[in-house]
Amino acid sequence: MIRRAAAAWTAAALALALGAAGSIACGRRDAPTGADRTRADEEERAEEAVVERRRVTLWLPGAAGRLAPVEAEIESAPEPRARIAALVAALLAAEPEGDAVALFPVAVELSAVLPTADGTLYLDLRRADGGEPPGAGSTLETQRIYAIVHTLTRNEPSVERVVLLWNGEQRLSFSGHLDTSRPLHPRPELEPR
């Protein structure tokens, strides 16, 4: 009986010791040391600091109902969402050249970017003052919408089609002439010949 009790105590002590050792080992594995945290912080800052600079073609409304190309240089982080946001920011701020005109006559901002794995980009725009999209005739509305579509699909390989939203809603139309209730693909016939 004493032997059984001693064996039981030995087994219990061994189990406790192994459990404690396992906890200590797990604790070392799961909880990073100060050096590990510093290294992880440095790696994170290095990733954030990576900036990609590239030449792009922005598309703006131009003469004869076509789009006008405007060359620009942009900077962004290398992942698609950052690249897309930089493209849109550059397009919204683009200074027209030659026969091109500004994309919108009022301040318009990027509200959200949601790229999907199938090549569809959901792009949410809004006016700085919270109003409706600027009015336009059918030709100018087509040029505005497709300037966005062409700028994104021609410069960002991950984007094949664009779904435009305004203030978080997909609208039937921005100015009453062009159907924006579906994904939009580039229209090469709008580019200069």
Contact predicate 162/152, CB 8 Å: yes
| Bridge partners, residue 61, by sequence | 67
- Angle, CA of 100, 102 and 105, to the nearest 5°: 145
What the block records as the tokens of 64 is: 């004869």
What the block records as the tokens of 107 is: 């301040």
Q: Which residues contact 172 (CB under 8 A, 6 or more apart)?
A: 179, 180, 181
User: Does the pLDDT at position 5 exceed 60?
Assistant: no
Q: Between these two residues, 5 and 65, which has the higher pLDDT value?
A: 65
What the block records as the tokens of 92 is: 């919204």
User: Does the pLDDT at position 129 exceed 90?
Assistant: no
Query: CA-CA distance, 113 to 163, in Å (whole number)?
Result: 10
pLDDT in tens, 92-105: 999 998 889 999 99
Average pLDDT over residues 46-67: 89
Range with the lowest mean pLDDT among 98-107, 114-123, 144-153, 160-169? 98-107
Contact predicate 92/126, CB 8 Å: no
Q: Between these two residues, 19 and 187, which has the higher pLDDT value?
A: 187
What pLDDT does residue 27 have?
A: 39
**What backbone phi and psi angles, to 5 degrees, belong to 42?**
-65, -40
- Angle, CA of 164, 166 and 170, to the nearest 5°: 55
Query: CA-CA distance, 54 to 71, in Å (whole number)?
Result: 11
